[in-house]
Structure 1
Amino acid sequence: MPIRGGVPPRNPRFAGREDLLARVRDMLGNGPVVLLPSPEHQLGGTGRTQLAVEYAHRHAASYDLIWWIPAEQTAGTRAALAGLAQRLGLPEARDLNRTLGAVRDALSRGEPFRNWLVVFENANRPEDITPYLPSGAGHVLVTSRNPRWTAEVAQSLPVPVFDRADSVDLLRSRAPELSIGDAERLAERLGDVPMALDLAAAVRDATGRPVAGYLADFERRSGELAFPTPVRVAWGLAAEALGADSPADRVLLELCTFLASAPISWRLLWAARTLPLDPELARTVRVERRLRAAMRRIGRYGLAELDPAGERLTVHPLIRGMFGQELSSERHAELLRTVRGMLAAADPGDPDDPAGWYRYTELAPHLIHSDLLGGDAEEVRQLVINCIRFHYARGDYDSSRDLASSAVARWRDALGESAEQTLLASFHLANALRAVGRNADARSLNLQTLRTQREVVGADDEATLATANSVGGDLRMQGHFGQARQLDADNLVRYRRLFGESYPTALRCANNLAADLRLLGDFRGARTLDEQVLRHRQAIFVDGHPEIVASRAELGFDLFGLGDYAGAAEVLAACPGDDDHPFALWAGRCAAMVARRRGDPAARALAEANLAVYRQRFGDLSVDTLAAAVSAANCALADGDLDAAHELLERAVIRYHAVLGDEHPFTLVASAGLAGVVRASGRTTEARTIDQEVLSGLRRSVGSDHPFTLSCANGLAADLAAAGEAQQARELAADTLRRSRAVRGADHPDTAACAWNLALTGGDEAARQQALDGLVKVFGDGHPVFRVTAAEQRLETEVDLPPL
């Protein structure tokens, strides 16, 4: 049996369609096929979805994998494809777009399944699914109401009404005692439209109504309508019969028509029990067994499909639309308020917790159809905000951005720019914009939001502080480390005053301040803060919690920056080694950096494995991936592989220019690293040109005493010495050593390296011996650094970039 995902159960009363099923099979061999309504029934009801379901079940043995994707909304499509990624065994990327691209590519390659069937149901906007369409040996089947499909995307197959014989077979499958003559009379009056036939059969089955009585009612109902169609009349009779049997059931179904075509679970409907309802409906929804019985009755009348377990109802789009047309404006508004309240009552809260994501996955498709953005209750708008955050937390940044953008636009008009939830939506929109690479837009929106929050609710409001933290992240991304430190220090004082220093959000703010200090080269200050944060987190969380891993990784960076490689290795040893969480990846990169500085030959393999995971999870343009590439290049350089180091750094420099800009300190540091490889290749004139430009940029951006600047100055001194400009080289080397002693300390490995380089530039034998003694003190005997000193060569002080 094939692996299946989301495939609806087979319809035991499916009738006919043999020619169409054969055509679908033949056409799929030539590419994707889209099932459309026939031209004379553009609104649907001709059985496209049932045809697709029957095809999937009938030909299941031909496939290794069958995956059903609800495509009415993009978020639902993306969620179903994410589930397929897990089934294909694909590693999860932080950005869902990368995961979805991997799904498409894996299917196209036929790995691990060569024969597959993917069905996109209700794909009414071709452009929404085109990016996800795979090629290869598998098959793609689409159902849609939109005739605007081009031959380049999919082959169109209109699905007509039944042949008369098929109509008779369908009616008699529901009522075997029905004579052929009566079945033909019904079929003729119902125009052989599959949905109309199914509704009529269901009503007759539920009520026992004879053919003559049903046809009389059909004529009566037709006469009441200005534009009667078989589906509209049959639907009206079914809804009328349900209401006569149980008025509460009809109201329950009316509520369902304000939701999407996605399955509606009894738990979602049960959430309405807390709302003010009509007494009969309240009696139904407040007790689970009554609610489930009502769902069965709705399914029995053919007005919705009930899954075999009796857990979920699915309402056809046509049914939804026809109910909506029958409601007065007052009734429509009343039901809409109830549906919005029901959805809000079903909100599990805490959208960052993966344990509740399955609940948000169920709720999210219904936001559009219930026009939740137009809700006037605070809890309704909070559900929207939580769904925005849910999409972001699971890596679906596009869906988060789209929903947040719609919310901001609607709420600015309805509530005003300074309304609390408009500002919250703006905050989340900025996060999503940053995540999709629109850093300038995120920065501008965050600043605007922060200014308004400070004016309206004050600087000490928790939402204001959250936005201020986000602005700090923007400043770090811009390379304005000093401004970020100033802002984050102010935030930390406020958080601690309001919530105490062990409050989780206050700890995250302290974490941000430590990151600022680390980026400014103040590793001592960062270490003090990170040690405090780690102690508090260990008291709050269980060991292995991501925030504890983050603290250990960051403390490891601090110790590495201080030159305490043994201490860093000890701290990092407690971090998971096989986890692809971002914090664990930070720790893994730092472990490779430490191993390199300690002379461990395994360093390069660690760095390359770490870089591979970064690329898979975050893509080549992520700043974290680029930092990992710089670290891997440093390992390749230490290993003597200049070609690999050059390739890694050259690409990193190009991408840093594109992502962070020409003057960002990280762009300049990567360029300095590239100069080091160029210098090691003997092209010292080219290296000098790069180093001079980089040193000037670093002095402007982070100052002359920053470790980034000192590393570049050390490289430029080597360039000058190679060019025969001994005096300039000696002066620069002496200045760099003096600054390194003041900033990093006399016992720091990079200070010891600067001392050796100065001794080479013009020192006597005693100075060289003193410099060697300093290197032995910090590195120990037998370290690979002494192969360089034995060859009378200068030592590099390469930079590994901290996380932004």
Structure 2
Amino acid sequence: MPIRGGLPPRNPRFVGREELLADTRGLLGNGPVVLLPSADHQLGGTGRTQLAVEYAYRYADTYELVWWIPAEQNAGMRAALVGLASELKLPEARDINRTLGAVRDALSRGEPYRNWLVVFENANRPEDIKPYLPSGAGHVLVTSRNPRWTSEVAQAVPVPVFDRTDSVDFLRGRNPELTAEDADRIAAHLGDVPMALDQAAAVRTATGWGVDDYLRRYDARAAELAFPTPIRVAWGLAADGLAEASPAAFELLELSAFLASAPVSWELLWAARGLVSLELARTVRIERRLKAAIRLIGRYGLADLDPPGESLIVHPMVRGMLGQQLSSERHAAQLRSVRAMLAAADPGDPDDPTHWPRYAALIPHLVHSDVLGGESEEIRQLVVNCVRFLYARGDYDSSRDLATQAVTRWRDSLGETDEQTLLASFHLANALRAVGRTADARALNAQTLRSQRDALGEDDETTLATANSVGADLRMQGHFGQARQLDADNLVRYRRLFGESFPTALRCANNLAADLRLLGDFRGAKALDEQVLRHRQTIFVDGHPETLSSRAALAFDLFGLGDYAGAGELLAVAGHFDTLGADHPMAMWAGRFAAMAARRSGRAEAWALATTNVELYRQKFGDLSVETLGAMVSLANCARDAGDLDEAHRLLERAVARYHAVLGDEHPFTLAAGANLTSVVRATGRHTEARTIGEEALGGLQRSVGPDHPFTLSCANGLAADLFATGEAQRAREIALDTLSRSRGVRGADHPDTLACAFNVALDAGDDQSAHAAVEELQKAYGEGHPTLSRALAGVRLETEIEPPPL
């Protein structure tokens, strides 16, 4: 049996279409096939979806994997593809686009399944699915109402109405007592249109109408319409029958005119129990009555039901006809009810993964109900929460698109300074930053923060949230001092308003600690991180991601203070990071820091740990992520220490180039990677080249982070070596002495990097006594047999490489 995902139930009453099925099977061997309505029925109703479902079941045994993807809306399509990624055992990247690309590539390679079928249902915009279409030995089947499919994308197969034999067989299959002659009469009236035939069979079964009675009613209804079509007439009869049998069920169906062609569960409809007419409320508020009404809608052929009968899917044509028959007053009233129903179904807290299935079920209906035009705060808050849900799930593109629509609409209808307009702008900036549009995010955040401060005040919670986001923008720009000033002010406000242990106050404190780390103040960062960790351990359960974030941050603080063993021990606490999964951002942080601590502790496994970590970062965040580049720098340091200078040089050259592209020439991380590159160039004896790179990096670091920053001190230590080697002994000595003095003041006299600077000064001066004393201190710091100690004993100048902290 093949693996199946999302496949609708098989239609037990499917008939005919043998030639179409065979043609589709043959064409799929040449590439994707799209099933379209025939030219004389372009609105649909000819059975494209049923044909695709039957194909999937009939030929299932020839495939290893069959996956059904609802593609009417991007968010739903992308969610289904993420489910396929899980089935293919692909790591889920933080950016969902990387996951979707990995799905396409894995299918195209035939890994792990060579023979597969992927069906995109209702893909009405070819450009939306084109990036996700796999190639290879598998098959892609598409259903669509849009005729704008070119042969370069997919081979078009028009799906016509039934031939008369299939129509008769279909009707008699639904109503076995029907004679062939009567079935022929019905089929002739309904033009052999599958959807109309299905509704006719359903309404006759539900009402008990005889053939003559049905055809009389059919002709009468057709005479009332200016443009009668078989589907419109058959639908009208079914709708009338349902309204007569149960006005409440028909009103329930009316609500679907404002919903999407996606499953509508009874739980969602139940949310409307206090928001609809008294007649419908009586049905909706009791679960068994509500489910009975759903089943009745299905009996009249006006919706498809899932096997338990607890969710319904209404065909787009039915939704359209329902909407057209509503008066303007009724339309407005039902639209208000649907919007209120969706808002009432909002579970809240979109960052909580347990709420994600509920949001995934709500998202498809936002467009059709035009919630962006909703008049109440609750409805607009649903939009904001859905924007945040999409971001939290990693679908940054969908988050950006929905937020952009919200901001555009609400600026016009509510004004630029409305609280929810500004809140949507804040979330839009987050999404823009996540998709790499950092300059746009920065500009929007700055504008939003100014407006919030003017309109809401500096102590408003949403203002503080945007200020935190501006702090992230400043860190990304390399303005660490400005970020610290802003975050420190935010923290004072958060603590005054909410207390020290309030979760968002702790996040702000966490951000301030990050600023201090970036400024080289590891003591200050450690004190703050210890405080945050204590609070988080008190208010969160064991293994909570935010607690683990504090633990990882504290480990980096210890590393920065030269306590490599302490950092390693903190990260090695059994089970703390394993519970998250290897590709969780916190686990990846911990993996990188563990590799750093292992390298500085002289353990051989450092390189393997760093290699694994880089691969995880590349899969999760891509090659241009700042976090990936930091992991590459750590791997390069491992390669250099292991003596593989070629690999270290390759990694650092690539990191420098990508930092240039992502952060710019003058960002401290770009310059720090350049400083590390000089250590590799220097190790190959190319001191003149290293000196050129080092002087440029040192000047930039002195300008950006100042002369006392650990980045600057590490770079200056290396430049002194190059100056000494190229004959500028006096300048080399001046820089080395100045670096040693500053390192003692910043890092402390016992810090391993300060001891390395002291050893280098003594070595350059030929002061054997001072060099010996420095070696003894290095032995205390590192222990016997450490590679650094071995290099010092061999009279080799010591490097003080840089490890960029997370931004």
TM-score bin (small chain): over 0.9
Which residue of structure 2 lines up, in the alignment, with residue 663 of structure 1? 666
Which residue of structure 1 lines up, in the alignment, with residue 519 of structure 2? 520
Which residue of structure 1 lines up, in the alignment, with residue 94 of structure 2? 94
Which residue of structure 1 lines up, in the alignment, with residue 602 of structure 2? 599
Indicate yes or no: 2:227 matched with 1:227: yes
Indicate yes or no: 2:344 matched with 1:368: no
Which residue of structure 1 lines up, in the alignment, with residue 3 of structure 2? 3
Write the mapping of 1:116-135 to structure 2, written as runs, cut at 5 A.
116-135=116-135
Q: What is the CA-CA distance between 1:579 and the residue it aligns to? A: 3.0
Q: What is the CA-CA distance between 1:681 and the residue it aligns to? A: 1.4
Write the mapping of 1:294-373 to structure 2, written as runs, cut at 5 A.
294-373=293-372
Which residue of structure 1 lines up, in the alignment, with residue 550 of structure 2? 551
Which residue of structure 2 lines up, in the alignment, with residue 383 of structure 1? 382
* Alpha-carbon distance between aligned partners in 2 of 1:763 and 1:483, rounded to the nearest angstrom: 43
**Which residue of 636, 654, 662 maps to 1:633?**
636
> Which stretch shifts more, 337-346 or 766-775?
766-775
Q: What is the CA-CA distance between 1:793 and the residue it aligns to? A: 1.5
* Alpha-carbon distance between aligned partners in 1 of 2:19 and 2:583, rounded to the nearest angstrom: 50
The Cα offsets for residues 297-327 of structure 1, whole Å up to 9 and x where unpaired, read as 1001111001111111000001011111111
Equivalent residues of 2:577, 2:586 under 8 A apart? no
* Alpha-carbon distance between aligned partners in 1 of 2:240 and 2:504, rounded to the nearest angstrom: 55
**SS of aligned partner of 2:708:** coil
**SS of aligned partner of 1:157:** strand
Q: What is the CA-CA distance between 1:379 and the residue it aligns to? A: 0.6
Q: What is the CA-CA distance between 1:205 and the residue it aligns to? A: 1.0
Where do 5+ consecutive residues of structure 1 fail to align?
A: none
Q: What is the CA-CA distance between 1:111 and the residue it aligns to? A: 1.1
Q: What is the CA-CA distance between 1:791 and the residue it aligns to? A: 2.7
> Which stretch shifts more, 583-592 or 519-528?
583-592
Amino acid at match of 1:544: G
CA RMSD of aligned residues (A): 0.9
* Alpha-carbon distance between aligned partners in 2 of 1:143 and 1:728, rounded to the nearest angstrom: 74
Amino acid at match of 1:362: A
Q: What is the CA-CA distance between 1:786 and the residue it aligns to? A: 2.3
Write the mapping of 1:563-642 to structure 2, written as runs, cut at 5 A.
563-574=562-573, 575-577=576-578, 579-642=582-645
The Cα offsets for residues 209-250 of structure 1, whole Å up to 9 and x where unpaired, read as 111111111111111111111111111111111111111111
Amino acid at match of 1:72: E
* Alpha-carbon distance between aligned partners in 2 of 1:580 and 1:551, rounded to the nearest angstrom: 18
* Alpha-carbon distance between aligned partners in 2 of 1:542 and 1:376, rounded to the nearest angstrom: 39
**SS of aligned partner of 2:157:** strand
* Alpha-carbon distance between aligned partners in 1 of 2:110 and 2:604, rounded to the nearest angstrom: 38
Which residue of structure 2 lines up, in the alignment, with residue 283 of structure 1? 282
Q: What is the CA-CA distance between 1:56 and the residue it aligns to? A: 0.6
Q: What is the CA-CA distance between 1:114 and the residue it aligns to? A: 1.1
Equivalent residues of 2:782, 2:789 under 8 A apart? no
**SS of aligned partner of 1:274:** coil
The Cα offsets for residues 518-565 of structure 1, whole Å up to 9 and x where unpaired, read as 100011110110111111111111221111111111111111111111
Which residue of structure 2 lines up, in the alignment, with residue 37 of structure 1? 37
Which residue of structure 2 lines up, in the alignment, with residue 688 of structure 1? 691
Amino acid at match of 2:497: L
Write the mapping of 1:103-252 to structure 2, written as runs, cut at 5 A.
103-252=103-252
> Which stretch shifts more, 565-574 or 108-117?
565-574
* Alpha-carbon distance between aligned partners in 2 of 1:519 and 1:702, rounded to the nearest angstrom: 9
Amino acid at match of 1:39: A
Which residue of structure 1 lines up, in the alignment, with residue 722 of structure 2? 719
* Alpha-carbon distance between aligned partners in 1 of 2:124 and 2:195, rounded to the nearest angstrom: 19
The Cα offsets for residues 655-705 of structure 1, whole Å up to 9 and x where unpaired, read as 101111111000000111111111111111111110010100000000011
Which residue of structure 2 lines up, in the alignment, with residue 786 of structure 1? 789
**SS of aligned partner of 2:288:** helix
Q: What is the CA-CA distance between 1:180 and the residue it aligns to? A: 1.2
* Alpha-carbon distance between aligned partners in 1 of 2:45 and 2:523, rounded to the nearest angstrom: 71
> Which stretch shifts more, 357-366 or 558-567?
558-567
Query: What is the aligned residue count?
Result: 803
* Alpha-carbon distance between aligned partners in 2 of 1:587 and 1:703, rounded to the nearest angstrom: 29
Write the mapping of 1:53-68 to structure 2, written as runs, cut at 5 A.
53-68=53-68
Q: What is the CA-CA distance between 1:364 and the residue it aligns to? A: 0.5
Where do 5+ consecutive residues of structure 2 fail to align?
A: none
**SS of aligned partner of 2:366:** helix
Amino acid at match of 2:405: S
Which residue of structure 1 lines up, in the alignment, with residue 680 of structure 2? 677
Q: What is the CA-CA distance between 1:773 and the residue it aligns to? A: 2.1
The Cα offsets for residues 160-218 of structure 1, whole Å up to 9 and x where unpaired, read as 01101011111111111111111111111111111111111111111111111111111
> Which stretch shifts more, 775-784 or 641-650?
775-784
Moved over 3 A (4+): none
Q: What is the CA-CA distance between 1:410 and the residue it aligns to? A: 0.5
Indicate yes or no: 2:802 matched with 1:803: no
Amino acid at match of 1:485: R
Amino acid at match of 1:238: A
* Alpha-carbon distance between aligned partners in 2 of 1:344 and 1:764, rounded to the nearest angstrom: 76
**SS of aligned partner of 2:228:** coil
* Alpha-carbon distance between aligned partners in 2 of 1:568 and 1:482, rounded to the nearest angstrom: 26
> Which stretch shifts more, 510-519 or 679-688?
679-688
**SS of aligned partner of 2:35:** strand
TM-score for the superposition, normalised by structure 2: 0.99
> Which stretch shifts more, 306-315 or 777-786?
777-786
Amino acid at match of 2:132: Y
**SS of aligned partner of 1:365:** helix
* Alpha-carbon distance between aligned partners in 1 of 2:360 and 2:409, rounded to the nearest angstrom: 23
Q: What is the CA-CA distance between 1:764 and the residue it aligns to? A: 1.9
TM-score for the superposition, normalised by structure 1: 0.99
* Alpha-carbon distance between aligned partners in 1 of 2:729 and 2:41, rounded to the nearest angstrom: 88
The Cα offsets for residues 330-364 of structure 1, whole Å up to 9 and x where unpaired, read as 11110000000111111111110111111111111
The Cα offsets for residues 100-137 of structure 1, whole Å up to 9 and x where unpaired, read as 11111111111111111100000000000001101111
**SS of aligned partner of 1:563:** coil
> Which stretch shifts more, 231-240 or 483-492?
231-240
Which residue of structure 2 lines up, in the alignment, with residue 771 of structure 1? 774
* Alpha-carbon distance between aligned partners in 1 of 2:522 and 2:196, rounded to the nearest angstrom: 74
Q: What is the CA-CA distance between 1:608 and the residue it aligns to? A: 1.0
* Alpha-carbon distance between aligned partners in 1 of 2:766 and 2:551, rounded to the nearest angstrom: 41
* Alpha-carbon distance between aligned partners in 2 of 1:741 and 1:506, rounded to the nearest angstrom: 34
Amino acid at match of 1:56: A
Q: What is the CA-CA distance between 1:587 and the residue it aligns to? A: 1.5
* Alpha-carbon distance between aligned partners in 1 of 2:356 and 2:487, rounded to the nearest angstrom: 31
**SS of aligned partner of 2:148:** coil
**SS of aligned partner of 1:313:** strand
Amino acid at match of 1:193: V
Indicate yes or no: 2:683 matched with 1:646: no
**SS of aligned partner of 2:280:** helix
Which residue of structure 1 lines up, in the alignment, with residue 476 of structure 2? 477
* Alpha-carbon distance between aligned partners in 1 of 2:504 and 2:280, rounded to the nearest angstrom: 43
Amino acid at match of 1:7: L
Which residue of structure 2 lines up, in the alignment, with residue 406 of structure 1? 405
* Alpha-carbon distance between aligned partners in 2 of 1:34 and 1:455, rounded to the nearest angstrom: 54
> Which stretch shifts more, 241-250 or 123-132?
241-250
* Alpha-carbon distance between aligned partners in 2 of 1:781 and 1:196, rounded to the nearest angstrom: 86
**SS of aligned partner of 1:140:** strand
Amino acid at match of 1:571: L
Indicate yes or no: 2:71 matched with 1:71: yes
**SS of aligned partner of 1:368:** coil
Equivalent residues of 2:85, 2:103 under 8 A apart? yes
Which residue of structure 2 lines up, in the alignment, with residue 19 of structure 1? 19
* Alpha-carbon distance between aligned partners in 1 of 2:763 and 2:406, rounded to the nearest angstrom: 64
Q: What is the CA-CA distance between 1:724 and the residue it aligns to? A: 1.6
Equivalent residues of 2:91, 2:583 under 8 A apart? no
- Identical aligned pairs, as a percentage? 74
Amino acid at match of 1:680: A
